[in-house]
Amino acid sequence: MQVRNSFKLALLKQMLLGFQLSAVSSNSMSVPERKNAIKLSADAAMVFARGSTRWTRGLVAGLSENSNNEDLLRGILGKKYERLSLPCRSSWKIPRSRKILKRCLGLCSRRKKATATQHDVKSGSTLARRLVKKRIQVLKKLLPGGESMAGFSLLDQTLDYAVSLKAQVDIMRRLLKISKASNLNK
């Protein structure tokens, strides 16, 4: 799964806008302030490029907690800021999906027991289920807005988020490369 070029382009544009708005180039900023502005620009740009989904709303909610971030967030997101800040209507995914998810993920490990198992038959599947449960808890903390997600939505949003994050990293790497190159030409 990959992002479209239009996504990357939008990300880059909004990130640069963020740099301009927060005046990262001005000497009046301290190093930590500048780094925060860059990170905030990168995240807000990623949200802008992706549009409305659960993790982007979660991310906006998280970033908005710091009132200092509001101006830059509004500057980059524009009209989208209000829309993304609206309370999320609960997902149509039924609560049972959590059970189905756990059963399925446990089941997958149980099927594999025939091939590779270090544990005895009985504890194998329970251990697998416990591991899966543990990892889902970790995942919920890593994913913006993940605490309110469960089951299918959690996995679906994780995939979406991972792909978007990768694109963010790619764009930042390229920007760094271009910036270095242009610096050398001075």
In the complex, the residues that contact other proteins under the rule CB under 8 A are: 1, 9, 12-13, 16, 19-20, 24-27, 31, 34-35, 38-39, 42, 90, 92-97, 100-101, 103-105, 107-109, 112, 128, 131-132, 135-136, 138-139, 142-143, 151-152, 155-156, 158-159, 161-163, 165-166, 168-169, 172-173, 175-176, 178-180, 182-183, 186
Q: Residue 169: CB partners within 8 Å, gap ≥ 6? A: none
In the complex, what is the shortest distance from the CB of residue 80 to other proteins, in angstroms, rounded to a whole number? 20
For other proteins, the closer of residues 19 and 81 by Cβ is: 19
For other proteins, the closer of residues 82 and 134 by Cβ is: 134
In the complex, what is the shortest distance from the CB of residue 82 to other proteins, in angstroms, rounded to a whole number? 24
C-alpha–C-alpha distance, residues 6 and 74, integer Å: 21
CA angle 18, 20, 26 (to 5 degrees): 125
For other proteins, the closer of residues 82 and 104 by Cβ is: 104
Question: Could you tell me the two tokens for 138?
Answer: 């970790």
In the complex, what is the shortest distance from the CB of residue 175 to other proteins, in angstroms, rounded to a whole number? 7
In the complex, what is the shortest distance from the CB of residue 53 to other proteins, in angstroms, rounded to a whole number? 15
For other proteins, the closer of residues 74 and 93 by Cβ is: 93
CB atoms within 10 A of CB 140: 16
In the complex, what is the shortest distance from the CB of residue 56 to other proteins, in angstroms, rounded to a whole number? 15
For other proteins, the closer of residues 10 and 84 by Cβ is: 10
100-109 long-range contacts, Cβ below 8 Å, gap at least 24?
A: 100/151, 100/152, 101/150, 101/151, 101/152, 101/154, 101/155, 102/129, 102/132, 102/133, 105/129, 105/132, 106/132
Find out whether 166 and 148 touch, Cβ atoms under 8 Å: no
